[in-house]
């Protein structure tokens, strides 16, 4: 696409993103990873690139360090000798001592840069939505209609409409009304269950934009927001037109997909949509690729563990450097250099870069942020009552483990779990069955395991009574201590299980009956 030299692009990327916490605790919302290898802002910037927009200002504010780093690493592609650039612009307090107080104020504080740009038009974009869009088609429609302002819009259900700016326009697509997040949204003519919503994408002539921002800055009653303050006033006095997203003239019309990923559940579902047989957003499209930072990483490796158990991956997306060694991954998205170890399972989950799922751990319906190590035999997303004490859980039950979280010893295999019953007592000669291993049964004899089927440390840990109250747990472990732990497990596993029992009892301030065992 030839460069459009008379248009300046402004990407608003400074929002707090509090509804997406804890993913936004240490980063701006546009910098949150998406789809394994991307950041949310990559979609808006890729749209600019393919639309021929090569003069871009990214207005940042809150927790912008990782966003600045990403812009440097992934988007240092424009040629300044040709007048191309992408520049991150933090608050510079050119107009006062405040940070950005709203979408309009963010641009008002940078009028100095707008006036120096030499642009005739300005397109204002959000950096925290996931979509493909040909902005050049909207700019052409703006020119043909001789509009003063153009507003990108799309259809939404009437149920969703209260979260958007809702508009109506005439047969010429000139906007006649605009209500920001109305309690009673107006439906579309002939579509009583649909409404026409603003996408937060605006095209202005630069002179009009500068004039209106100066005027709005002097209004002490204004919230300095485009939807709440500027657009309702402009509609009355200027030619403000709507541009329908997915217009047939746009080159990306076949990809008419737009998602606000502002909540944990919306973010999770948008990622899971990528795993469908026919995903609504096809990341594998050649004609409108989404640019990203390619982290140096070796190829994906799926292999057997040291016991010969193969790694299994189904219906998932894996980024560079992922290793699945004897573990199982299904319906999940894995970031760069994720490790899934022997006997571990990952289901319906999103794992960011450098997450390690250790041996025997179970992860389900989770979002796990960068650098987290899920310990051996840990479970996350299995037992809501336990997870609620440790992590954020969304309305739809998605468990979120924050950036760099460290599991403490008292969290690993807690004493009380609301899982399926394993057994009620441990005694000599009793047949014990684990519901997680329905095909495995063993007679626990007085001196040794008599069943020919081997039982792993994981099986034995499951067989320990952890659903009973503390007194019963102590009684069981005392019985094991009196009879000797060698009665149950052979070899090096003896020490490991003994240490596990000690840690659990010490965390409950109970004397361990196995402390004297060698």
Cα 230 to Cα 104, 169, 216, 448, distances in angstroms? 8, 17, 7, 80
**2 lies in some domain:** no
Last residue of one domain, picked from the residues 411, 441, 458: 411
* Cα–Cα dist 192/157, whole Å: 9
- CA distances to 163, 165, 420 from 184, rounded to whole Å, are 11, 12, 47
Any domain includes 518? no
Residues 335 and 462 in one domain: no
Task: Find the DSSP H helices in 285-388.
Answer: 384-387
Q: Give whole-number Cα distances, 229 to 219, 226, 233, 329, 427, in Å.
A: 10, 6, 7, 49, 74
Q: In degrees rounded to 5, what are phi and psi of residue 136?
A: -65, -35
State residue 500's pLDDT score.
53
Are residues 19 and 111 both part of a single domain? yes
Radius of gyration of the chain (CA): 29
Give the whole-angstrom CA distance, residue 383 versus residue 47: 41
Is residue 339 a part of any domain in this protein?
A: yes
How far does Cα 189 stand from its chain's mean position? 36
Separation between Cα atoms, residue 408 and residue 410, nearest integer Å: 5
End residue of a domain, out of 358, 380, 411: 411
Phi-psi region of 115 (alpha: psi -120 to 50; beta: other; left: phi over 0): alpha
pTM for the structure as a whole: 0.78
Q: Structural domain tally of the chain?
A: 3
Burial class (CB in 10 A: 0-12, 13-18, 19+), 7: buried
CATH value at residue 337: 2.160.10.10
- Between CA 271 and CA 282 the distance in angstroms is 12
pLDDT at residue number 92:
79
How many whole angstroms separate alpha carbon 443 and alpha carbon 193? Answer: 64
Residue 23 covered by a domain: yes
User: Do residues 298 and 258 touch, judged by C-beta distance below 8 A?
Assistant: no
Note whether 322 and 358 are same-domain residues.
yes
- Give yes or no: residues 320 and 214 share one domain: no
Same domain for 226 and 331:
no
- Please choose, from the candidates 306, 331, 311, the residue with its C-alpha nearest in 3D space to the C-alpha of residue 322: 311
Q: What is the pLDDT of residue 266?
A: 95
Pair (198, 74) in one structural domain: yes
Beta bridge partners of 129: 260
d(CA 235, CA 219): 18
Question: Are 200 and 327 members of one domain?
Answer: no
Tokens describing residue 202: 């605006």
Beta carbons within 8 Å of 434's beta carbon, 6+ residues apart: 422, 440, 459, 462, 463
**Phi, psi for residue 148 in degrees, rounded to 5:** -85, -35
DSSP symbols for 385-416: HHHTTTSEE-TT--EEEPTT----GGGSS-S-
- Domain span at residue 325? 301-411
Helices (H), 1-89: 41-50, 65-74
Q: Does a structural domain hold residue 63?
A: yes
The verdict on residue 515 lying in a domain is no
Residue 103 domain-assigned? yes
Q: How many CB atoms lie within 10 A of CB 103?
A: 25
Within 10 Å of residue 425's Cβ, how many Cβ atoms? 12
Q: Which pLDDT belongs to residue 85?
A: 94
Q: Decide: 425 and 419 in contact? Cβ < 8 Å.
A: no
Residues 148 and 227 both lie in one domain? yes
For 495, other C-beta atoms within 10 Å of its C-beta total 13
Question: Are residues 24 and 119 both part of a single domain?
Answer: yes
Classify residue 426: in a domain, yes or no: no
φ, ψ dihedrals at 503, nearest 5°: -60, -40
Do 337 and 385 share a structural domain?
A: yes
Which of 347, 381, 411 is the C-terminal boundary of a domain?
Answer: 411
Judging by beta carbons within 10 Å of its beta carbon (0-12, 13-18, 19+), is residue 487 exposed, middle or buried?
middle
The predicted structure's pLDDT at residue 409: 65
CA proximity to 342, closest of 311, 297, 366, 301:
311
Q: How far is CA 21 from the centre of its chain?
A: 10
Question: Does residue 353 share a domain with residue 226?
Answer: no
Please report the pLDDT score of residue 339 as a whole number.
98
Q: Please indicate, yes or no, whether residues 48 and 191 belong to a single structural domain of this protein.
A: yes
pLDDT at 17: 83
Task: Report, as ranges of residue numbers, the positions in the chain whose pLDDT lies below 50.
Answer: 413-494, 498, 505, 508-518
Contact 381, 363 (CB under 8 A): yes
Cα of first residue to Cα of last residue in the chain, in angstroms, is 74
Helix axis angle for 470-483 and 493-507, nearest 10°, is: 150
CATH number at residue 257: 3.90.550.10
């Amino acid at each position: 696409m030839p460069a459009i030299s008379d248009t300046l692009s402004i990407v608003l990327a400074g929002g707090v993103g509090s509804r997406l916490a804890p993913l936004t605790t240490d980063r701006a919302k546009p910098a949150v990873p998406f789809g394994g290898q991307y950041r949310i802002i990559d979609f808006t910037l890729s749209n600019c690139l393919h639309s021929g927009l090569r003069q871009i200002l990214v207005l940042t504010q809150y927790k912008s360090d990782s966003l600045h780093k990403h812009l440097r690493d992934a988007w240092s592609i424009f040629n300044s000798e040709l007048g191309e650039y992408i520049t991150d612009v933090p608050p510079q307090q050119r107009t006062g001592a405040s940070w950005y107080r709203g979408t309009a104020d963010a641009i008002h504080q940078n009028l100095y840069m707008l006036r120096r740009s030499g642009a005739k038009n300005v397109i204002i974009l959000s950096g925290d939505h996931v979509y493909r869009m040909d902005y050049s088609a909207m700019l052409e429609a703006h020119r043909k209609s001789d509009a003063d302002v153009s507003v990108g819009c799309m259809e939404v259900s009437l149920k969703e409409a209260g979260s958007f700016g809702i508009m109506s326009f005439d047969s010429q697509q000139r906007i006649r009304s605009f209500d920001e997040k109305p309690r009673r949204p107006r439906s579309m003519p002939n579509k009583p269950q649909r409404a026409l919503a603003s996408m937060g994408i605006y095209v202005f002539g630069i002179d009009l934009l500068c004039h209106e921002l100066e005027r709005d800055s002097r209004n002490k009653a204004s919230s300095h927001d485009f939807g709440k303050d500027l657009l309702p006033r402009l509609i009355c006095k200027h030619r403000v037109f709507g541009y329908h997203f997915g217009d047939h003239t746009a080159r990306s019309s076949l990809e008419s997909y737009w998602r606000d990923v502002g909540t944990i559940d919306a973010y999770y579902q948008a990622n899971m949509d990528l795993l469908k047989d026919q995903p609504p957003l096809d990341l594998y499209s050649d004609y409108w690729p989404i640019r990203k930072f390619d982290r140096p990483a070796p190829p994906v490796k799926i292999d057997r563990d040291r016991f010969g158990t193969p790694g299994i991956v189904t219906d998932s997306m894996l980024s560079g450097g992922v290793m699945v060694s004897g573990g199982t991954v299904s319906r999940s998205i894995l970031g760069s250099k994720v490790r899934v170890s022997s006997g571990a399972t990952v289901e319906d989950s999103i794992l960011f870069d450098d997450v390690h799922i250790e041996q025997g751990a179970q992860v389900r319906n989770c979002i796990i942020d960068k650098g987290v190590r899920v310990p051996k035999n840990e479970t996350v997303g299995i037992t809501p009552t336990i997870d609620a004490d440790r992590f954020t859980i969304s309305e739809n039950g998605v468990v979120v483990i924050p950036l760099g979280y460290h599991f403490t010893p008292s969290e690993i295999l807690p004493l009380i779990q609301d899982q399926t019953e394993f057994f009620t007592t441990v005694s000599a000669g009793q047949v014990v069955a684990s519901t997680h291993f329905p095909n495995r049964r063993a007679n626990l004899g007085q001196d040794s395991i008599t069943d020919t089927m081997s039982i792993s440390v994981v099986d034995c840990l499951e067989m320990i009574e952890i659903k009973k109250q503390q007194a019963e747990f102590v009684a069981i472990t005392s019985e094991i201590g009196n009879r000797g732990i060698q009665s149950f497990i052979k070899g090096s596993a003896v020490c490991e299980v003994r240490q596990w029992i000690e840690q659990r009892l010490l965390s409950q301030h109970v004397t361990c009956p196995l402390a004297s065992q060698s």
